[in-house]
Amino acid sequence: MNFRIGYGYDVHQLAEGEEFWLGGIKLDYHKGGVGHSDADVLIHVICDALLGAANLRDIGFHFSDQDAQYKGIDSKILLERTVALLREKGYEIGNLDVTVGLQKPKINPLIPEMKTVLAKVMKISEEDLSLKATTTEKLGFVGREEGVDAHAVVLIYKVEHQGDLDQ
Q: Per the annotation, where are the binding residues?
A: 10-12, 36-37, 44, 58-60, 63-67, 134-137, 141, 144
Which alpha helices (H) appear in 89-137, and where do they start and end? 111-122
Residues at the annotated binding site for a divalent metal cation? 10, 12, 44
| Spatial separation of the C-alpha atoms in residues 91 and 94, rounded to whole Å | 9
Helix H or strand E segment including 86: helix 75-88
Among 78, 98, 86, 8, residue whose Cα is nearest residue 37? 78
Pairing of strands 129-134, 91-101: parallel
